[in-house]
Amino acid sequence: MTGLLSGRGLVKRYGDAYALAGVDIDIAAGEVLAIVGPSGSGKTSLLHVLAGILKADQGVITLGGQRVDQLNETKRSELRRTEFGFVFQSGMLVAELTAEENVALPLLLGGRDRNMAVSTARDWLGRVGLGGKEMRRPGELSGGEAQRVAIARSIAHRPKVIFADEPTGALDTRTGHATVNTLIGAAHETGAALIIVTHDRDIAAMVPRVVAIRDGRIETPVAAA
């Protein structure tokens, strides 16, 4: 197997239906790619299987050459917390916490001391353009600002891979593009690989590699004309 994160023969079934019908994929360290496909094609299933949120029914997943598909739930949850970062469609921020606390929380849960967690959170909020808004709660931020908090939170612990599932789904086109640029910039800064699931071809056009999925299978890449 090659690459930082690799999947071979990934199958995920719901009853008789195949959400993933045998997917092979390799993601290199620091690589930025988009996974595109129509609604119901298996994008989220693939992301969740690769990230260890869901267990595949069949297939092998390796991270840095080590098998991770057979880890138990405790180990998978540790892997998600330490090696991976996540950005979802609509923030999933804790409404009661400030922007700074939202970003610091995973660092605190990861055992970082409070001063360190808070200064790292402030630093990342500044880098994603939210300097001065650290004390706002999610309800006091625009959709695009909330997604930037989510980006800061996904990357502050310096994960190897960031998984973003439709991160622009709740945003207007312009804000969506700015959000993806912020995400790509953050990944480049830390050397993290970035996997963006989107059904927006314009977003896909912003990244160097696009993987198309349909009916739970990777479509053969069409050679450029």
Ligand X SMILES: Nc1ncnc2c1ncn2[C@@H]1O[C@H](COP(=O)(O)OP(=O)(O)O)[C@@H](O)[C@H]1O
Residues that bind ligand X (CB under 6 A): 14, 17, 19, 37, 39-45
Task: Considering only the C-alpha atoms of the chain, give the largest distance between any 2 of them, rounded to a whole number of Å.
Answer: 54
Instruction: Count Cβ atoms within 10 A of the Cβ of residue 79 and give its class: 0-12 exposed, 13-18 middle, 19 or more buried.
Output: middle
Residue 6, interface with Mg ion (CB under 5 A)? no
| Cβ-Cβ contacts under 8 Å for 86 (sequence gap 6 or more) | 51, 80, 154, 162, 163, 164, 165
**Closest Cα to residue 49, out of 40, 41, 59?**
59
Name the minimum Å distance from CB 134 to Mg ion. Answer: 31
- C-alpha 119/C-alpha 52 separation (Å) is 29
Phi-psi region of 4 (alpha: psi -120 to 50; beta: other; left: phi over 0): alpha
Nearer to ligand X, 55 or 136 (CB): 55
Report angle CA 86, 130, 191 to the nearest 5 degrees: 45
Q: Which does 42 bind (CB under 5 to 8 A by kind): ligand X, Mg ion, none?
A: ligand X
- In whole angstroms, how close is the CB of 165 to Mg ion at the nearest point? 6
The verdict on 45 binding Mg ion (CB under 5 A) reads: no
H and E: helices and strands count for the chain: 7, 10
Q: Which does 14 bind (CB under 5 to 8 A by kind): ligand X, Mg ion, none?
A: ligand X
| Binding residues for Mg ion, total number by CB under 5 A | 2
Closest to ligand X by CB, 42 vs 138, is 42
Residue 52 binding result from Mg ion, ligand X, none, given CB thresholds of 5 to 8 Å by partner type: none
Specify the residue, 40 or 131, whose C-beta has the smaller distance to ligand X: 40
Nearer to ligand X, 149 or 195 (CB): 195
Between 43 and 76, CB nearer to Mg ion: 43
44 scored as a contact of Mg ion (CB under 5 A): yes
Token pair recorded at residue 190: 């830390």
Chain residues in the site for Mg ion (CB under 5 A): 43-44
